[in-house]
Each structure stands twice: as structure tokens, then as C-alpha cells.
Amino acid sequence: MRKYIDLSRDITHDMPVHPYDDRVRLYQDKFLDKDKYVNYRLEIGMHSGTHIDTPMHLTDRETYINEIPIERFVGRGVLLDVRNEDPIKFKNEYADIVDDNAIVLLFTSHSDKYGTKEYYTEQPVIDNTLAEFFVRKNIKMLGMDLPSPDNYPFEIHKILFDNNILIIENLTNLSELMDVKDFEVLAPPLRIRAEAAMARVIAVIDI
């Protein structure tokens, strides 16, 4: 038996977005009574809601996210409890629990502020010591319940991207993984020819 935990945010009209980004529009344009079917249409930037950033977001690399194979978006998950830390630094104990090709999820609990202005203005950031540790360990992806691992000029993004580590932003429900020993992360993004894409991110637990 398997249990699935959905780590993804809803995509809705005027959902919270980063102050740099344009609003999300989601509207019904076909109606059952008039058109005989229902259709919604979505206008969205790639960094809205739960999504994956690739190096092309901030560097001159031109690999679009639809060109990256599925294998890069699935793997063994590791949750690090980093609540109440800012900046979020490396700790020696991580050396034993993070290994090559892991998908590391940082549980900050900052996602509790989702929907308030503070979600974007008062977020904790990742320290260089931790980003460099992830590079040494050659992790596959770094996910977090934050809108970003850092602020302008985005040094942490760049350390990760220079080492081809993908970044998952705006996760939720990470508290549900607190006492889970082994889980897998499935995070396939939409196959969009872009620098990033919205993704449905799921943790899978064998029970």
C-alpha cells in the first residue's frame, strides 16, 4: 500500500505571486447552458505557485525545462527540519542523512504565512554553507516551503544552478513528512518550453 501526500499549492484566480510577477488570471470562457461545455482559461507566469526553476531562469544556459528528462524530477526524498532558522545554515548532522541524488526538502514552516504579504517580504534565506554542502553532495533537487531560497542578487540560486541542481519553490504540507523515515518525491513539471514550469509535487510513502 502507498500513501500520497500532495505538496502542491492550488492554482486559482489572483493567487499569491511574487511582487516581481504579473498576476495569475483564471476565468471561465465556456458555459454549459450557452456553449454546451465548460472551459476555463489560464494566464500565468512560470514562477507562480508550486513550480520548478532550472538554470535558464538566471543564467545564460538554454536548456528549456521540457528538454530535461523525467528522471531528474523523481527520486528519494530527505526532509530537513529547519524551522526558526534564518539564515538556514549547514549542520554537521546533515552529512549523514543527505546523499547523492537525493531530493532534499527544507521544512521552514514559513508556508504558514502563505496568503499574507510577509510570505514574500519576511522569508528566511539559505546560507552559502548549506548551498555548498548540497553541491558537494550532488543532490538532484532542492525543494522548500518558501517563495525562494534567497533574495536579490540570488547568489544561492546561482550556486545551485551552476551545479545543475533544480529548485522547487512554494511547497506546502511538509509538516506531514516530519515523522516519515522513507519517502519518494515525484515532481514532474508541465512539459512547457520555458525556463521553469508549474509542477504537481507529491511525496509517496510505502506503508
Taking the least distance from each CB to a copy of itself, the nearer of 57 and 140 is: 57
Shortest approach of a copy of itself to residue 4 CB, angstroms? 4
The 74-81 sheet, strands edge to edge: 2-6, 202-206, 183-186, 74-81, 103-107, 141-144, 166-169, 51-53, 196-198
Among 12, 63, 129, 151, binds a copy of itself (CB under 8 A): 12
Q: Is position 44 an interface residue for a copy of itself (rule: CB under 8 A)?
A: yes
Taking the least distance from each CB to a copy of itself, the nearer of 8 and 108 is: 8
Residue 84 backbone class (left: φ over 0; alpha: ψ -120 to 50; beta: rest): left
Among 50, 108, 111, 170, binds a copy of itself (CB under 8 A): 50
Shortest approach of a copy of itself to residue 45 CB, angstroms? 5
| Of 138, 200, 192, 196, the residue nearest 167 (C-alpha) | 196
Q: Is position 23 an interface residue for a copy of itself (rule: CB under 8 A)?
A: no
Measure the CA–CA gap between 170 and 177, rounded to whole angstroms. 16
Question: In the range 155-194, which residues lie near a copy of itself by CB under 8 A?
Answer: 186, 188-194
- Specify the DSSP element, H or E, that contains 119: helix 118-121
Taking the least distance from each CB to a copy of itself, the nearer of 73 and 134 is: 73
Q: Is position 43 an interface residue for a copy of itself (rule: CB under 8 A)?
A: yes
Among 19, 34, 37, 206, binds a copy of itself (CB under 8 A): 37
Phi, psi dihedral angles at 198 (to 5 degrees): -65, 145
How many angstroms from the chain centroid is the CA of residue 2?
A: 23
Measure the CA–CA gap between 159 and 155, rounded to whole angstroms. 6
Taking the least distance from each CB to a copy of itself, the nearer of 42 and 178 is: 42
| Of 107, 157, 120, 154, the residue nearest 135 (C-alpha) | 157
Give the interface with a copy of itself as residue ranges (CB under 8 A). 4, 6, 8-13, 21-22, 26, 29, 32, 36-47, 49-50, 56-60, 66, 69-71, 74, 153-154, 186, 188-196, 198-200, 202
